[in-house]
Structure 1
Amino acid sequence: MTQPTSRSQIKVVIIEDHVLFAESLELALSVEGYDVKRVELPLNGTTPSSILASVIRQAPRIVLLDLDLGHFGDGLRFVGPLATAGINVVVVTANPDKVRWGEALRYGARTVRSKSNPLNEILAVVRRLGNGQPVMEVEERESLLRLWHQRNAELAELQAKIDRLTPRESQVLGRLMEGMTVHDIAAASVVSEATVRTQVKAILAKLEVTSQIAAVGLAHHVGWHPAAEPGTPRSSR
């Protein structure tokens, strides 16, 4: 029978920008006997790629990773490379968006835990991983992954609508996103307001929305940005 690995032989790395929470995790895991290290996230001189490379070189068994890393951005970018390196990634986050939880699982995280849950729950996950035990129910994993796939399908459908816009309509939508009015757009483009209104109507029809606000909201929702217009005057607002 295989003997369980000693906790002192299990290296755990914490990637977390909330110092108090990170220190609490570090202390609790140290008390339980794990070889634990907290990654410093300095304001200057360190890039996300250098942090990732440093963590992978340490070859930890487990990484506890926050999704929102302050000035280092989205922790999701770390999940795939860490999982590919054979590291058990446990996402510990205050973000309640279950779609992002599903995305983390899709990239290879073993499980996701909310920071609002008791610290003992996170410690229990570490213990189970150390013993080679499962840390997430199949039904919960599949439910979160399904949410992620549904959101992806929704965004793809919305993006397809935006892709139907002509280059000129895309420019107009981009200027609406900047807060420009029909009058502003007409003046900047040296065309009549009637022409711009016709273009706006075409945009609304293709995006299947009924207002400029809804069109702008849809574009923001999918993270769309218009192509740059070299030499074209822009709103200073």
Structure 2
Amino acid sequence: MRGASRVCVIEDHTLFAESLQIALELKGHEVRRVPLPDDLHSATTLLPAVMKHQPHVLLLDLDLGNADGSRLIEPVTRAGTAVVVLTGSNDRARWGHCVRLGARKVMEKTAPLNEILATIRLIGEGRPVMTLEEREDLVRHWQEERAQVADLLDRLNRLTAREAEVLGQLMNGRQVRQIAEASVVSEATVRTQVKSILAKLEVSSQIGAVGLAHNAGWMPPVAKN
């Protein structure tokens, strides 16, 4: 693939997408933007629209409203299209996940336009756009985060069913008194349960427990009627 490339853009910020399209077209690239439906919940539903254009390069945003753009990386890469992620996130672990899924490069949206154009040019010339060291560093960040999350989930799995329910209510912003009233138990009972939760999660406060649960992506059990 040399010279002009077919480039597909998936981006939910219209002004940024239009700026990219204009800059790329001025360089002779054929650009197609994939429209995003208002009710988009799964990025994979965009795959047919991407493949319709048979792009050489897909410029992909990660945060597409309620949808996670990274879900597109693997199937698009498998189809032979190079994926370049343009994101507002500076989470290196998240970048590493994208690289592991097959993204050729991850860049912040604040990157100079010339750097984005140069990346597409290098891909078109069949040249690398990241060093092996850069890729390994990003993947290492992802692996470290996964290990941390696994440790957090291990702590959360120590909770009894009742403690998990109480933690879920704390995550919803309820006070000990409200939890006690809703469960028809004494405040002392709930405080004992909270104390056990803090000990098992190895944190010193209710805020710490709630933060740990959020960081682990933990979902509280559904309350039984």
TM (norm. structure 1) is 0.89
Residue of structure 1 in register with 2:206 after alignment: 212
Q: Which amino acid aligns with 1:52?
A: L
2:58 to 60, 63, 76: 63
Structure of larger gyration radius? 1
Counterpart for residue 169 of structure 2: 175
> Is the contact made by 1:61 and 1:88 (CA closer than 8 Å) also made in structure 2?
yes
The 1:204–1:45 alpha-carbon spacing in structure 2 relative to 1, beyond 3 Å, is closer
CA distance in 1, matches of 2:81, 2:52: 11
- Does the 8 Å contact 1:62/1:88 carry over to 2? yes
Query: Mapping of 1:59-208 within 5 angstroms?
Result: 59-69=54-64, 71-208=65-202
User: Given that residues 48 and 72 in structure 1 are in contact (C-alpha distance below 8 angstroms), is that contact kept between their aligned partners in structure 2?
Assistant: no
The equivalent residue for 1:16 is 11
Report the 3-state secondary structure (helix = DSSP H, G, I; strand = E; otherwise coil) of the residue aligned with 1:133. coil
Provide the C-alpha distance between the structure 2 equivalents of 1:181 and 1:115, rounded to a whole number of angstroms.
41
Determine helix, strand or coil for the equivalent of 1:17: coil
1:195-220 C-alpha deviation (Å, 9 max, x unpaired): 21211111111001111111111111
Identity of aligned residues (%): 52
CA RMSD of superposed structures (Å) = 1.7
Q: CA deviation at 1:77?
A: 1.5
Alignment partner, residue 47 of structure 2? 52
2:18 is paired with a residue of what secondary structure? Answer: helix
Q: Which residue identity does 1:119 align to in structure 2?
A: L
Deviations 1:23-65 (A, max 9, x none): 1211121122122111222425896333222102322111011
In 1, distance between residues paired with 2:74 and 2:40?
Answer: 24
Equivalent residue in structure 2 for 1:39, among 34, 37, 59:
34
Aligned residues between the structures: 225
Shift of 1:159: 0.6
1:5 to 2, 6, 9: 2
Question: Match for 1:55: what amino acid?
Answer: V
Distance in 2, matches of 1:99 and 1:183, equals: 39
Q: Distance in 1 between matches of 2:41 and 2:135?
A: 34
Instruction: Extract unaligned runs of 5+ from structure 1.
Output: 232-237
